[in-house]
Amino acid sequence: MTSASVVDTTRRTPRKRILMIVENLPVPFDRRVWAEAQSLHRAGYEVAVICPRGPFAQAAYESIDGIEVYRHPLPIEARGKLGYVAEYSSALWWEFAYSLKVFLGRGFDVIHACNPPDLIFLIGAFYKYLFGKKFVFDHHDLNPELFEAKFGHRGRVWKVLVFLERMTFRVADISIATNRSYADVAIQRGRMKPDRVFVVRSGPNLARVRELAHDNKWRNGRSHLVAYVGVIGEQEGIDLLLEAVRHITSACRRTDIQFVIMGSGPSLEQLKQTCARMQLSEFVTFTGRIDDTTLFTILSTADVCVNPDRPNAMNDMSTMNKIMEYMALGKPIVQFDLAEGRVSALSASLYARNTDTTDFGDKILELIDDPCRRRDMGMYGSKRVREELSWEHEEPKLMAAYDAVFDRAAPAPVAIRNPTSRQAR
């Protein structure tokens, strides 16, 4: 059954118009946002997206598969607190300007806001309270926890971020959470009613995430390949991965493994320099941002995939797209023992002691030296994605959320959990 086949368009006439706003990444490279946009378009909605420009996505306007995409400049790359204020202020101005352009043109019935930052509610409130438009909050990041992870403290800025998050939930007609931990935040900290909170996980689109022919050039002449894909920032723990690589190559004297780190971000150049200082450059390849064909070629070639996300409240409660993609391609995983990472991967992953880079490296070697275990873990993960976690299974939940927006069906409530509970979600 294809993902398109699970969408019923019969109840969605006349066509409702959705304006999605995302500031973190351009589409179609923000995979979750693009999957949502495509699903809504197939369901009969008219969809437009406002997003920033970025590498491989420089056109100010284009129509992709029937979805209108408006891209604004974002010349400021945030570094430090003042940098984030400047970046988000610039983005908010452009988002409002483009929203007016769409409003005065084709129009829209819903603003679907994807954070970070938790400022888009200002645009949503303008159209909701003046023109009666609906506001949907798609909760991608916990910004108070993200701030604490980046700067190592709370303080006044943290309190402001909690206030902005709460205001976003207050304006929202519904909120969409990426997992049960985020749903708990919406209900407990955001004070939303459980029947207005919907969990739509970031399941991989199996039409896009596909195994390709192996290309052994990425092994750099070595027997084994370990791969990482994701943002290259401070909280992603690439420095911890490099420490694990040093343990493998120096303490364990293993020179038969190549590591490929895919992605870009604010810490990329700094981490390249760190890698060189650690004398690991011959074992580690940084690719920067790459296209899907190269990405899935490398992942298909890899023997083991890793997620070294630094243990903190933000990462503990977040579901990482990379974990789902690793599993979809049948790759065994090594990661630190974070709550939502374990909920997603279960037996498809080994879990190192948090921040213990020696244990992380040893877990990689366990899998490298046990091909049967790698195969079994990979098969388990692939089956779990196909049967439970792929976007095909999440798409109907997105449709149910939009039915609730337009009061077409009684929404399925999200149960309230004990905030101290760490049961399976």
- Give me the half-sphere count of Cα atoms (radius 13 Å) on the Cβ side of residue 373: 14
Position 266 scores a pLDDT of: 87
Quick one: which H or E segment has residue 270? helix 268-277
CA 231 to each of CA 44, 228, 289: distance values in angstroms, whole numbers, following the listed order: 33, 10, 9
Structure tokens at 105: 């043109």
Residue 401: strand pairing partners: none
Position 78 scores a pLDDT of: 61
CA–CA separation, 202 and 389 (whole Å): 8
Contact 363, 352 (CB under 8 A): yes
Contact 216, 303 (CB under 8 A): no
CA–CA separation, 204 and 394 (whole Å): 10
Instruction: Using the CB atoms, write b or e for 327-346: b if 16+ within 10 Å.
Output: bbbbbbbbbbbbbbbbbbbe
Q: What are phi and psi of 163, to 5 degrees?
A: -65, -45
Per-residue pLDDT of 98-148, as tens digits, reads 999 999 999 999 999 999 999 999 999 999 999 999 999 999 999 999 999
Per-residue pLDDT of 336-354, as tens digits, reads 999 999 999 999 999 999 9
CA–CA separation, 391 and 393 (whole Å): 5
Position 204 scores a pLDDT of: 95
Position 55 scores a pLDDT of: 80
Q: CA 204, 207, 211, 217 torsion: positive or negative?
A: negative
Position 419 scores a pLDDT of: 41
Per-residue pLDDT of 37-46, as tens digits, reads 999 999 999 9
Position 194 scores a pLDDT of: 97
Domains in the chain, please, with CATH?
Answer: 3-203+391-405 (3.40.50.2000), 216-388 (3.40.50.2000)
CA–CA separation, 348 and 210 (whole Å): 18
Q: Where are the alpha helices (DSSP H) in 65-218?
A: 80-104, 121-131, 143-151, 155-171, 180-188
Q: Which residues of the chain have pLDDT under 50?
A: 1-5, 9-12, 410-411, 413, 416, 418-425
CA–CA separation, 90 and 75 (whole Å): 9
Structure tokens at 273: 């320099």
Position 421 scores a pLDDT of: 37
Closest CA to 308 of 368, 369, 256, 245: 245
Per-residue pLDDT of 55-103, as tens digits, reads 888 999 999 999 999 999 986 666 666 777 888 899 999 999 999 999 9
Structure tokens at 183: 């749903």
Position 50 scores a pLDDT of: 99
Structure tokens at 108: 């829209």
Q: What are phi and psi of 394, to 5 degrees?
A: -90, -25
DSSP-based three-state secondary structure for 419: coil
Position 7 scores a pLDDT of: 57
Number of Cβ within a 10 Å radius of residue 24: 16
